[in-house]
Structure 1
């Protein structure tokens, strides 16, 4: 949906110009599809493949629900919850052990975003301050430049994903991806910066700030763990140099 196919509207200055906004609603209720909601959604989407994609996602959730119910019925809720927390805690310890292999200290990195989609020659700095403690790590982007007036802005969720994804490439790949993995990781991404724009800013192109976010982190940690970092990610028109 939105003014242009794919949702990437370079002329957008606010969220309403990017796509249809749907708050959380039930597509299925008590096992039955709500056709009114379904029709409302797809009356605003150009491509039928999106319908197929969403159907597949709902199918996978339904299958996962069945398996989880089977586990609870077989072992009981208390046993299920105890084992779940044990898995989370074990994963947390694995991540803490990885963090302890990084020399403790404070490290800074910076990357540049070129062009905000509206103003030729515009540049924005992404700055990160990484504090490595005894089994914990903090990524602080407080000194990053403010949000743009175009669609090259991130949200907290897209920026947090970029941080976690980048850091996971520097640690043991066998660490399970669950809640315990992120417990030793603290993120400070203040509202109002280009990585966490204030509502109702346009944010469609925010996911393409991930390479620049990764580059700032890589530059910060390269001096202390050079064998674990990679070169910068793909460069786009709002990318990094």
Structure 2
């Protein structure tokens, strides 16, 4: 599925950066298999898919599309396409893709605005059929392409760049559905096999959690700001390990804010699931059973369980990264040798472009430093934790967009000091060859990635426009010849250098 999506997508965001994920679910919406794609996509799908697919009359050839964060999505650019899988007339499961679309119709290019309301962030797609029994729903196709619905014809606008990526997702889902349908024909006990897989996954997860000492472990960290004036926004966790189960209580977390770092509970769940998955051996299957021993609560209306229509564009990318830091910080008290220091703690979101007939949309997340650990130094210049994408290669970036890359290097010395040093971040400087509207959604510009066991903190990041220091979340108009520099944070160090 991932290969089909990558090779048929049109945008660099999907075909070069690989900002997409693919997974298989059973007929009840329980995760059965996933590709090694993006944790925030996959964990949130695992959390929300059962509610999304239940209570619907599915038919062969249907394709469902949705991006509503409050109905199983994450943020609006991440669009989910779901294909049901049948064996004759029996529903066997679902093939699912989720991909990040750089243009989902937001008020600013790149569809990652400094927003205060969900509607400012682009087109909100409630669960809707993109195909009904194999037939494209042309008005919706044209709407997704940003075209007038009433001028449609009998064919979807395949030549349209925006719709081309939706068509690629559809193809990937249909490829997965065909393969799973073929498997169902030769394996009459496929449903029992799914059940057995999840039972085994649960057994392995419970065994790993049972190896942790019982107790209650508390940790808290902060988001720098919400882009609307509120700073040092607390995420608090009380983690209880009891036997072979874990419960995460985020009571004490700040209320939802005016800016767009809020997130639905599914995103917080994805971050928590990811942290526990990292504790397990590589051969443990990524399935619904892994998450059954893990309970989670966040008060309704708080930063991690926001109410509609709170803005959420940065919650999926920035707040999820901080939830990982908080969960790992608590787990480090229970399993100190198994948990690394904090990694960069941000995805360094850069979005830009221009409107009009010759308009363009560019979006990228930037790598940074990984936290050091008991076994060695952190990696430098890597995407960490909740993102698992690549960079846009310089050749692709410069051929698709009116930009020139002036500098792209490792930010030496940005990793935290220690017996094992944190990984270093990156420096990337762009020159604008055309006017553009730019949005930055970043974090760890005030609060540094923390070290462990006496290791020092990593360096905070920086954003600069023509040398002038910028806030962590901001938008501005760039003119021809302007320069944008983003320096990503380093990871935290491990062990005090004076440790004997």
TM-score (normalised: structure 1)? 0.91
Any runs of at least 4 consecutive aligned residues in structure 1 with deviations exceeding 6 A, and if so which?
A: none
Deviation for aligned residue 1:190:
2.2
Q: Which residue in 1 is equivalent to 2:254?
A: 145
Which string of whole-angstrom CA distances, capped at 9 and with x for unpartnered residues, describes residues 62-104 of structure 1? 122112222222232xx12111101110110010111111111
Deviation for aligned residue 1:32:
1.9
- Structure-2 separation of matches of 1:174 and 1:232: 25
SS in 2 for 1:209: helix
Judge conservation of contact 2:272–2:323 (CA < 8 Å) in 1.
yes
Judge conservation of contact 2:277–2:290 (CA < 8 Å) in 1.
no
1:114 equivalent among 224, 228, 251: 224
Asked if 1:227 corresponds to 2:337, the answer is yes
Which string of whole-angstrom CA distances, capped at 9 and with x for unpartnered residues, describes residues 154-192 of structure 1? 211211111111222222222111111111111112221
Higher strand share: 2
Deviation for aligned residue 1:49:
5.0
- Structure-1 separation of matches of 2:128 and 2:251: 34
Unaligned runs of 5+ in 1: none
Judge conservation of contact 1:27–1:37 (CA < 8 Å) in 2.
yes
2:273 equivalent among 143, 149, 164: 164
* Aligned pairs, number: 234
- Structure-1 separation of matches of 2:242 and 2:282: 21
SS in 1 for 2:129: coil
Q: Which residue in 2 is equivalent to 1:60?
A: 172
Gap change, CA 1:230 and 1:50, over 3 Å in 2: farther
Asked if 1:18 corresponds to 2:121, the answer is yes
- Structure-1 separation of matches of 2:187 and 2:282: 30
Root-mean-square deviation over aligned CA pairs: 1.7
2:323 equivalent among 201, 209, 213: 213
Deviation for aligned residue 1:50:
4.4
Q: Which has the larger radius of gyration?
A: 2
Judge conservation of contact 1:160–1:187 (CA < 8 Å) in 2.
yes
Which string of whole-angstrom CA distances, capped at 9 and with x for unpartnered residues, describes residues 93-126 of structure 1? 0101111111111111111111110106x11110
Deviation for aligned residue 1:57:
2.1
TM-score (normalised: structure 2)? 0.45
Judge conservation of contact 2:141–2:163 (CA < 8 Å) in 1.
no
Q: Which residue in 1 is equivalent to 2:110?
A: 6
Asked if 1:104 corresponds to 2:309, the answer is no
2:201 equivalent among 91, 98, 113: 91
- Structure-2 separation of matches of 1:102 and 1:116: 35
Q: Report the more deviating stretch, 56-65 or 194-203.
A: 56-65
SS in 2 for 1:204: coil
Higher helix share: 1
